[in-house]
A = this chain, B = another copy of it.
Amino acid sequence: MLTRIDHIGIACFDLDKTVEFYRATYGFEVFHTEVNEEQGVREAMLRINGTDDGGASYLQLLEPVREDSTVAKWLAKNGEGVHHIAFGTADVDGEAEAIRGKGVRVLYDEPRTGSMGSRITFLHPKDCHGVLTELVTSAPSRH
Contacts and interface: CB of A to CB of B under 8 A. Distances in A.
Interface of A: 1-5, 8, 10, 12, 18, 21, 24-28, 48-53, 57, 59, 79-82, 85, 87, 99, 102, 104, 125, 128-131
Contacts of A3: 48-49
A131 B49 contact: no
A52 B48 CA distance: 10
Contacts of A21: 128-129
Given A5-B59, A81-B131, 10 more contacts: A2-B48, A4-B48, A5-B48, A5-B57, A12-B130, A21-B129, A25-B104, A50-B51, A50-B52, A81-B82
